[in-house]
Amino acid sequence: MHKHLAILGAFFLLQPECSNAQPKDDLIAALEQLSTEGNAEATYHLGMAYHTGSGTSVDRVKALAMFREAAEAGNPLASYKLGCYYDGQGGGLVEDDLALALEYKLVAAEAGYALAQQDVAALFAQSGQMDKAVAWLERAVGQGWPQALATYASIHNGAEGIAPDPVKTDAYFRLFLQRQGGNSKQVEWLREFELGMSENEKSRADDIVKRYRPAPTQITLDALSGQGAAMELIERER
């Protein structure tokens, strides 16, 4: 019998991550200038600066205003952060509202942002819509998002409404460990899990791992680069 993937802890789909990179202090003035000229991407980066205190003091009121302004102007990463404010990051500025969180995060997920896709999967899972949750999670998996890989492995080893699949559990947890590193307990769990697999299952899992080619989208790369994306924006606009 295959052991439950308890080493992952709580079901990751239930824990939207809500994270982005942010600009450094030497970019603030340039971003402010571009924002006043109506550049939604610059406004988003300013929102991140106020949200995290990078290059300026933390000011969640200003951050929320910046995210809202940029989201209304069509910036998907700002929509994502606005969704995060309605998904527990509001700090009293807005009431938690999972419907609004999903609405805003869907904008970024549909634009191709892997973290938003993972979070949208979590929100659908919380509402019991597992078909939609898995479909969105698979998009994040396709981009190589580590936590999505771990979650995908976990749900195929015991999530309600999903048929157990030791091949997917093994393959995608291995891919997670390859990308994230993992800890000794996770490595040991995988070793013990594979002892319960047949040779055919191991071969099929090997094939998935060998054929896997992550394809992150440009918006995911931009979000991860944070300061780099802000600097590139300034260079483009000069």
What DSSP state is assigned to residue 151?
H
Please tell me the predicted confidence (pLDDT) of residue 4. 41
For residue 229, CA distances in Å to 68, 73, 219, 238 come to 20, 18, 10, 14
Residue 38 burial (CB < 10 Å; 0-12/13-18/19+)?
Answer: exposed
Q: What pLDDT is stored for residue 226 in this prediction?
A: 79
Conformational region of residue 162, where left means phi above 0, alpha means psi within -120 to 50, and beta covers everything else: beta
- Give 151-157 contacts, CB < 8 A, sequence gap 24+: 151/8, 151/11, 151/12, 151/13, 151/118, 151/121, 153/5, 153/8, 154/5, 154/8, 154/11, 154/12, 155/11, 155/13, 157/2, 157/4, 157/5
- What is the pLDDT at residue 14? 45
Quote the pLDDT of residue 20. Answer: 63
The tokens describing 121, both together, are 């999967």
Which domains are seen in the chain, by residue range? Answer: 20-135+217-238 (1.25.40.10), 144-214 (no CATH)
SS3 content of the chain, % helix, strand, coil (to 5): 70, 0, 30
Where does 74-145 have alpha helices with state H? 76-84, 98-111, 114-126, 130-142
User: What does each of the 238 residues of the chain score in pLDDT, given as a tens digit?
Assistant: 344 444 444 344 445 667 665 555 578 999 999 999 999 999 999 999 999 888 889 999 999 999 999 999 999 999 999 999 999 988 899 999 999 999 999 999 999 999 999 999 999 999 999 999 999 999 999 999 999 999 999 999 988 889 999 999 999 999 999 999 889 999 999 999 999 999 999 999 999 999 999 999 999 999 998 778 888 998 898 8
